[in-house]
Amino acid sequence: MAETHPPFRKNTAHQAQRSGPWLSLVLVALSLLMIAPFVWMALTSFKTLSESSDPEWMPGAFRWGNYPEVFKIIPFLRFAANSLVIAGWVTVLQVFTSALAAFSFARLEWPGRDRVFFLYLATMMLPGLVTLIPTFQLMVRMDMVDTYLGLVLPAAFGAFGTFLLRQFMLGIPRALDEAAEIDGASKWQIFWDVILPLSRPGLVTLAIFTFMGNFQSFFWPLVMMKTVDKFPLPVGLMFFDTERGQATHLLMAAVTMSVVPLIIIFVLLQKQLIRGIQLGGVKG
Amino acid sequence: MSGLGKRGSPRRRLVSGIAFLLPNILGFAAFTLVPLVMSFGIAFTDWDTLRHNIFRHETLRFVGFENFSWLFHHPDFLHYLGNTFFLMLGLPFAIAGSLGAALLLTRVSHRPVARRGAFIFATLFLTGSGLLLRMGGMSQVGVWFIFGVLAAVSLVAGVLTGGSVYRTLFYLPNFTAGVATFVLWKKLYNPSGPINAALGPVLDGFASVVRSAPDLFSWGVPLACGVVAAALTLWQLWRLRQHWDDATAGPVSVVSGLLMLAVPVGLQLHWLGLSAVTAVGGPLGVVLIGAVLILKRPRRWGPVCARDAGLSAEIALALGLVPLLTLLAVGVTWGSRLPALAAVGLPAPNWLGDYDWAKPAIMIMGLWAAIGSNNMILYLAGLSNIPPELYEAADMDGASPLQRFWHITWPQLAPVTFFIGVMGVIYGLQGGFEMARVMTKGGPAGSTTTLSYFIYIEGFETGRLGYASAAAWVLFALVFILSLLNFRFGNRSAND
Amino acid sequence: MASVRLNPAPAEPNELPTLKRSFLISVALLSLASALLYWTVPGKRTDIPVIYWVTQDDENKRATVAAFHQWLADEHLPAVKLRIDNTNQEPTKKLVQGLSGVGSDIMDLYGYEADLFPATGMIQDVTEDAKRLGFSPAATYPALAPDFIINGRQFGFPRNAGVSLNWINRETFAKYHVPEPPMRWTMDEFEALGKKFVAAANPPGTRERIYFTNLVPREQLRRGLGLANYNETCTRCTLDDPRNVQILERVRRWTVEDHLIPSREEGEAMAADISGDGSMFSHFTSGRFAMIYVGQWALIILRPRGTFQLRAVEPAMDGFVNTDMGGGAVSVYAHSKHLEASIRFLQFLTSPHFNNLIARIADGLPPVPKYAETEEFLRPAAHPNEWGTAAVFAEEARTTGITMSKSPFVLQSILYRVEKELTETMVSGRMTAAEAAKAMGDRLNAEIQLRIDHDPALRKLYDQRVAIQRQIDARRAAGKPVPAAWINDPFHLAYYRAHGWLEKEAKP
């Protein structure tokens, strides 16, 4: 698809000329550095509990049984599904509402706009811990404790997404929407048909960030949820911490498994991201 | 330029502006703003969960700024504040790391050789690891073998997929759940754990080198570090003066450049055993004198220069310099002890258990997580948005790679850096709570207690919500001021 | 500048729907998945009420639940279903949920929770019920009462009792030909024997150091010298006393110079896991700790790991021998929907059903003392290797056990943190023992000041107690006895009683 648009290929092509074997070496070395802890994690997941505290990386023998063991201790799939659905909804809501808000902040001119925006941004600057008790009390009033909704809603309307997409939309040339407006398009049409498609890399980026962040969120779900069957994965992993110490080998097996769906999702979305970056390479 | 929506009355514009905002702002108001306002109120009361809750309805007292004044009387509040800022020194490294990673990744992103590269990679990876795992029971050799195969597989896959494999690999640290990452690193940092196991031979080798020439090291290392640090400091001073003379830097930039330079100097003085007053006051005095000396100078190229011109470049440079100078100060302070230590063999650090090493350990962990982080993705997006014409023009002028970077890439990335900087400051100053809870419990001897962990303890272990809220709002004020500065510089450089 | 290269998007007609289509598809998929998840959450409808108990989920707790159901049936009480809730143990979670009215019915309270939670009012005051149903303090060890009685009101009942002692791995001592410590010993004896052991166990070139013990109980050592964390009325922290300096100096020497106990750093290095306790037992069984300082519940963990030749002795101390007494307190949540049934659970803790169970599994002493006298408890047939230890634990609980000092003006969590942090700082050489002791006193007294400044009720209590303290000090200076009712701190009470400084107490 990219080859049908030579002008946009240039974007990266000019830099690729310089790549040589040394570059690959550096990249491979860096990659190994990034993977190393994961290799350790994966290897530990095959150890026995007593081996898991050895400095030795390799297990004495590969205990595949650790993996079925995980499923015996926790309903792993259930937890993973909970996490996926919760993070999925947060992502969908976040991306959609943030895109709307960002459009308003970046492309519409209304009195008081920038002040409202800065107020928005300022709310991110307060540590979430202090709002924990007020938010929790709000949840109690709204009868949302121990519900999926109570995990989705408070996470879905942050200022981060709005900020990110606003920055993205500021980079899209004004001429585009002006042209559309002259053609008699409504604000909604401009948003839906002009800005949104051009913000694609921003949207995908935000989707990735939001999903990853919420798939891993721990503290809020920990405090909010009471029913085991509704636990998201990070909270569910607490089951490996017992009075008698931590079942490190099983924990590592569970974490190894939890990484897999994320990698798959990332690889899928990343394709979009790359395409998006190549096509959305427009800046004013 | 007449912007979109400039048509219509202000009223109409307001209505349509709000209409788009509505879905977000409703949820936002309900779940963010309301609790926020509540917490602001709490900061001025003596709200104590022990006495004010659904079980005990004692009257809430308005105490004005009492909570805040108590904060500054707390024997450790300033210590924790210092910890928080010290850990922030890692931020420039982290930003540089993710920018570096993004630059590297952009260079390789050529056309994928095969569209199904990802699948090939996955298959290769799986068969590779499967094969390896079949050969269970191997020891250290097996680990090297695994890394060899991984290297080969990622190289092949890198060629096949046009580099997107590296992107996934770099992004790996983001895939583990937060708490799991901490558990993982706690294990890695175990004094007899994998990191020290790898470090042991290196240190032994280094120790024998030091032993062979102890005198050279006892004065050589501090001297070398000192000389380099002094040279860098002088160079930066000279640069500042130069920019002032050339009217490419305004007074605001000069002063903030000097202030940042004062940070490592102050740390150095503190480590050399001077009292806190001298360590803070001395450098500040020098800044004052330096500022006067520079600002008094007549301008060669006439007076036309905005007050904060050149601020962006100044801050960028200073942010890079500060951590470097701090490292050099570490060398000056502790370098001379090397031979004595090496005589008995250099022990690998007890990372999280040692007062002095705990903070660097946490910063290294942060760096690892930051290189391939969300910031890298943002930089990737930013890099691909730079119009190639700019580079082509530069190439025609015969610009060196460094010049290309400094004059094209860096300014063009300003909006991204701005975003990352703001978010980095926001999350950096708030951070450390989960980490402290899981990894160190704020220890040893409070060396990893950040403000957010302090807030957690005050709010949830001691139950003083009013006090915790006050601490949080102090933190807020700090973040706010830093962000405001960032905004000034960011908006300016974004519009440069 | 880049306006030359405009809008790729409109040129790509099928680009537009892809984005939105994938968005819509994900929304649809999510809805489907949520619906599935929602409907498959198992319903909890049962005919009889269900109450939840926040505790660990292990076979012993499950046996306890079964025993409770049996007891209800035997006593012809209305049936309830008790469920273990091991997912809500995190202290923050308990606190936030409890304060918001959605806590679990029955909670185990650990450490600082036993202090903080009742103070918030979220724990049911069971004083009257205890009298009615027979689980008042008189039912258990008298020394344990301060653990669940706050200002004369009862907030729970222990589900076990016990003191912490030094467990000795006899094989380790035999291996290095070092004599075992006596039942009662002084700090100097500890030091001499410890040095001998460490020298024997760590010949030059040893890579993994072997320690004499995992820790020494600083609070108990101070008490040995007659010093508690607070004064008699708990209105002042007394950790700035020279006797504390003496103890801290010992601790530093034993850690840094003699290597009898691991420092925090060394302990960190030995920790096999993140949560700490687990590794202590492995090091004990593998011989890296000759002794460990822990309660009788250690047996729960040691039994499945093998047969070890065990003994239990008092921690070494000078002066007034005392041990750290504690009980795992169980409390009832004030907003429990099944208050009556939950309170019945506390009554169950006094039943033979429960006490015999605890005696069998050796999770500390049964809360009701008489059940610790059975042959099965003292000499369990299956574990001859631990014979003798149970009797020591029971005896110490009756004679030397004292609960920890608690002041209504300072939360335990703060005391722990300040004491631990400053001790670590001192051991690492950043402070002298004298400086650390002074800092401990200063900080905790500042904390007391802060608390009473904010709380008028506490202020009143404080003023009353300070007045009493003055009278105590005056009487002590004059060598006159003091009424027992004046003394709030459990250690001082025991210390005064032992020294005959109390006025004649009327026998109840």
- Reduced to 3 states (helix: H, G, I; strand: E, B; else coil), residue B424 is helix
Q: Do B13 and A108 touch (CB under 8 A)?
A: yes
Work out the end-to-end distance of chain A between its first and last CA atoms, rounded to an integer number of angstroms: 24
- Nearest-CA distance from B390 to chain A in Å? 11
In the predicted structure, residue C464 carries a pLDDT above the cut 60? yes
Q: Do A223 and C88 touch (CB under 8 A)?
A: no
Chain B neighbors of C4, CB-CB under 8 A:
389
Q: Where are the domains of chain C?
A: 50-161+327-373
C-alpha angle B425/B426/B431, rounded to 5°? 95
Chain A neighbors of C279, CB-CB under 8 A:
53, 245
Substitution target in B156, B168, B179 with the highest count of A β-carbons within 10 Å is B179
In this predicted structure, what is the pLDDT of residue A16?
Answer: 41
In this predicted structure, what is the pLDDT of residue A7?
Answer: 34
Please name the member of A140, A176, A243 whose beta carbon is closest to the beta carbon of C7. A176
Q: Do C413 and B461 touch (CB under 8 A)?
A: yes
Q: Do C454 and B443 touch (CB under 8 A)?
A: no
B431 Cβ neighbours under 8 A, 6+ residues apart = B87, B450, B452
- Higher pLDDT pick, B220 / C491: C491
- Reduced to 3 states (helix: H, G, I; strand: E, B; else coil), residue B175 is coil
The answer to whether the CB of A154 falls within 8 A of the CB of A220 is yes
C-alpha angle C201/C207/C211, rounded to 5°? 40
**In this predicted model, what pLDDT tens digit does every residue of C85-107 receive, in sequence order?**
877 777 777 887 888 788 889 99
In this predicted structure, what is the pLDDT of residue C445?
Answer: 94
Q: Do B33 and A219 touch (CB under 8 A)?
A: no
Chain C neighbors of A222, CB-CB under 8 A:
90, 92-93
Lowest mean pLDDT among A165-169, C86-90, C500-504: C86-90
Q: Do C87 and A175 touch (CB under 8 A)?
A: no
pLDDT means over runs of 10, chain B (496 residues): 55 81 83 84 81 75 82 80 82 84 74 55 65 54 72 71 75 71 76 73 79 77 85 84 75 77 80 74 80 71 57 68 80 76 72 79 82 82 79 82 80 78 78 74 77 82 82 83 68 47
Substitution target in B31, B132, B192, B390 with the highest count of A β-carbons within 10 Å is B31
Please name the member of A14, A33, A118 whose beta carbon is closest to the beta carbon of B388. A14
In this predicted structure, what is the pLDDT of residue C225?
Answer: 95
In this predicted structure, what is the pLDDT of residue C293?
Answer: 93
Scanning the structure block, which residue is given the tokens 């004083």? C127
Query: Which chain A residue is nearest to residue B491, measuring alpha carbons?
Result: A167
Lowest mean pLDDT among A9-23, A187-201, C45-59: A9-23
The pTM of the full predicted model, rounded to 2 decimals, is 0.79
CATH: 3.40.190.10, 3.40.50.720, 3.40.50.10490, 1.20.1600.10. Which one for C50-161+327-373? 3.40.190.10
Beta carbon pairs, A and B, within 8 Å: 357
What does A113-167 look like in DSSP terms, one character per residue? HHHHHHHHHHGGGS-GGGGHHHHHHHHHHTT-TTSHHHHHHHHHT-HHHHHHHHH
Scanning the structure block, which residue is given the tokens 């230590």? B341
Tokens coding C90: 């995190």
**Mean pLDDT to the nearest integer, A127-134:** 74
Chain A neighbors of C13, CB-CB under 8 A:
none
Query: Which chain A residue is nearest to residue B27, measuring alpha carbons?
Result: A157
Chain A neighbors of B38, CB-CB under 8 A:
131, 134
Length of chain C: 508
Q: Do C2 and A282 touch (CB under 8 A)?
A: yes
Q: Where are the domains of chain B?
A: 68-109+178-191+349-496, 111-162, 202-335
Report the C-alpha gap between B282 and B288 in whole angstroms. Answer: 10
Q: How far is CA C418 from the centre of its chain?
A: 17
What does A37-62 look like in DSSP terms, one character per residue? HHHHHHHHTTS-TTGGGSS-SS-SS-
Report the C-alpha gap between A164 and C367 in whole angstroms. Answer: 60
**In this predicted model, what pLDDT tens digit does every residue of C3-21 receive, in sequence order?**
333 333 443 444 445 777 7
- Nearest-CA distance from A234 to chain B in Å? 6
Q: Do A223 and C102 touch (CB under 8 A)?
A: no
**In this predicted model, what pLDDT tens digit does every residue of A207-265 receive, in sequence order?**
888 888 888 888 888 878 877 788 888 888 877 766 556 677 888 888 888 887 788 87
**Closest CA relative to residue C490, chosen from C292, C115, C223, C286:** C223
Which C residues in the span 1-30 are in contact with A, Cβ-Cβ below 8 Å? 1-3, 5-9, 11-12, 15-16, 19-20, 22-23, 26-27, 29-30
Q: Do A145 and C16 touch (CB under 8 A)?
A: no
The answer to whether the CB of C261 falls within 8 A of the CB of C216 is yes
Substitution target in B12, B18, B32 with the highest count of A β-carbons within 10 Å is B32
- Nearest-CA distance from C164 to chain B in Å? 24
- Nearest-CA distance from A101 to chain B in Å? 4
Tokens coding C41: 């959450």
- Contacting chains of C (3 CB pairs or more, <8 Å) are A, B
Report the C-alpha gap between C459 and C467 in whole angstroms. Answer: 12
B215: exposed, middle or buried (C-beta count within 10 Å: 0-12, 13-18, 19+)?
A: exposed
Substitution target in A100, A130, A272 with the highest count of B β-carbons within 10 Å is A130
Report the C-alpha gap between B307 and A170 in whole angstroms. Answer: 26
Computed over every residue of chain C, the mean pLDDT equals 85
Chain A neighbors of C34, CB-CB under 8 A:
85, 89, 148
Which one-letter amino acid corresponds to residue C113?
A: E
Q: What are the distances in angstroms from CA A274 to CA A1, B112, C248? A: 12, 11, 62
In this predicted structure, what is the pLDDT of residue A273?
Answer: 64
Please name the member of C8, C19, C42 whose beta carbon is closest to the beta carbon of A5. C8
- Nearest-CA distance from C89 to chain A in Å? 10
In this predicted structure, what is the pLDDT of residue C17?
Answer: 58
- Nearest-CA distance from C416 to chain B in Å? 12
In the predicted structure, residue C275 carries a pLDDT above the cut 80? no
C229 Cβ neighbours under 8 A, 6+ residues apart = C219, C222, C237, C238, C239, C404, C405, C407, C415, C419
Query: Which chain B residue is nearest to residue A113, measuring alpha carbons?
Result: B17
- Nearest-CA distance from C133 to chain A in Å? 31
Chain C neighbors of A146, CB-CB under 8 A:
102
Query: Which chain B residue is nearest to residue C263, measuring alpha carbons?
Result: B353
State the DSSP code for C482: B
**In this predicted model, what pLDDT tens digit does every residue of C341-386 receive, in sequence order?**
999 999 999 999 999 998 888 788 899 988 888 888 888 888 888 8
In this predicted structure, what is the pLDDT of residue C474?
Answer: 95
Q: Do B54 and C101 touch (CB under 8 A)?
A: yes
State phi, psi for A246 to the nearest 5 degrees: -100, 135
Which B residues in the span 227-246 are in contact with A, Cβ-Cβ below 8 Å? none
In this predicted structure, what is the pLDDT of residue C283?
Answer: 84
Please name the member of A110, A129, A280 whose beta carbon is closest to the beta carbon of B456. A129
pLDDT category, C278, cuts 50, 70, 90?
low
C59 Cβ neighbours under 8 A, 6+ residues apart = none
Alpha-carbon dihedral of residues C248, C250, C251, C254, nearest 10 degrees? 160
- Nearest-CA distance from A89 to chain C in Å? 7
In the predicted structure, residue C268 carries a pLDDT above the cut 90? no
Residue B1 near chain C (CB below 8 Å): no
What does C352-370 look like in DSSP terms, one character per residue? HHHHHHHHHHTSSB-SSGG
Superfamily of segment(s) B68-109+178-191+349-496? MetI-like (1.10.3720.10)
Q: How far is CA C211 from the centre of its chain?
A: 24
Chain A neighbors of B387, CB-CB under 8 A:
281, 283
Please name the member of B136, B180, B193 whose beta carbon is closest to the beta carbon of A237. B180
Tokens coding C121: 């009012």
Which C residues in the span 468-487 are in contact with A, Cβ-Cβ below 8 Å? none
**Closest CA relative to residue A259, chosen from A251, A248, A269, A247:** A251
Q: Where are the domains of chain A?
A: 71-279
What does B73-122 look like in DSSP terms, one character per residue? HSTTHHHHHHHHHHHHTHHHHHHHHHHHHHHHHHHH----S-TTHHHHHH
Report the C-alpha gap between C295 and C278 in whole angstroms. Answer: 14
Residue B303 near chain A (CB below 8 Å): no
Chain B neighbors of A57, CB-CB under 8 A:
140, 143, 194
What is the CATH architecture assignment of A71-279? Answer: Orthogonal Bundle (1.10)
Q: Do A174 and B1 touch (CB under 8 A)?
A: yes
How crowded is residue C460: how many other Cβ atoms within 10 Å of its Cβ?
11
Q: Which helix (H) or strand (E) holds C326?
A: strand C323-326
C106-109 and C329-332 as β-strands: parallel, antiparallel, unpaired? Answer: antiparallel
State the DSSP code for A73: H
In the predicted structure, residue C138 carries a pLDDT above the cut 80? yes
Report the C-alpha gap between A216 and A91 in whole angstroms. Answer: 13
Please name the member of A203, A246, A284 whose beta carbon is closest to the beta carbon of C273. A246
The answer to whether the CB of B195 falls within 8 A of the CB of B188 is yes
Q: Do B179 and A273 touch (CB under 8 A)?
A: no
Substitution target in C97, C117, C273, C274 with the highest count of B β-carbons within 10 Å is C274
**In this predicted model, what pLDDT tens digit does every residue of C399-454 receive, in sequence order?**
999 988 888 888 888 898 889 889 988 988 888 999 999 999 999 999 899 888 87
